[in-house]
Amino acid sequence: MLRLPVCPHCHAVYSYKEVSEMKQGARLCYHCNKKFMADKKFGRFIFLPAVCLILILINVMIFISTDSFSIVIMLADLVIVTAAVMLMPLTVRFKPEKMTKSEKRKLRSEEQEKDM
Ligand SMILES: [Zn+2]
């Protein structure tokens, strides 16, 4: 589930840095030049709430099991938040973008040229 996204058309690999700097929306693949959507919704609506839940659970567990909990909780929270921020680009997904009719026609004419 947590891995760097690849192009849905040609499976070209994108680097961690590229994905983390990518904005939500349509992009052209650097490799096959086809359109896809960079989708960050999964990270925002599933991954982040899950991280918050883990954070709360761990805080409660530490709170129950130790007497000197404050510094332990601070350190644990810091580690979890840092890990979550680092994992965020791995939750980005690329979806193939639907082509418009004119784009399809252009693609088809290019294919026919190849056949001739
Ligand atoms: Zn591609």
Q: Which two tokens stand for residue 69?
A: 């909990």
Per-residue pLDDT of the chain (116 residues; tens, 9 = 90+): 678 999 999 999 999 999 999 998 899 999 999 999 999 988 889 999 999 999 999 989 888 887 666 888 889 999 999 999 999 999 999 999 876 777 767 767 777 776 66
Asked if 78 contacts 7 with a C-beta cutoff of 8 angstroms, the reply is no
Q: Is the pTM of this model over 0.75?
A: no
Asked if 99 contacts 107 with a C-beta cutoff of 8 angstroms, the reply is yes
pLDDT digits (tens, 9 = 90+) for 106-116: 767 777 776 66
The dihedral over CA atoms of 43, 48, 51, 57, expressed in degrees to the nearest 10, equals -140
CA 94 / ligand 1 centre spacing (Å): 10
CA 31 / ligand 1 centre spacing (Å): 5
CA 13 / ligand 1 centre spacing (Å): 9
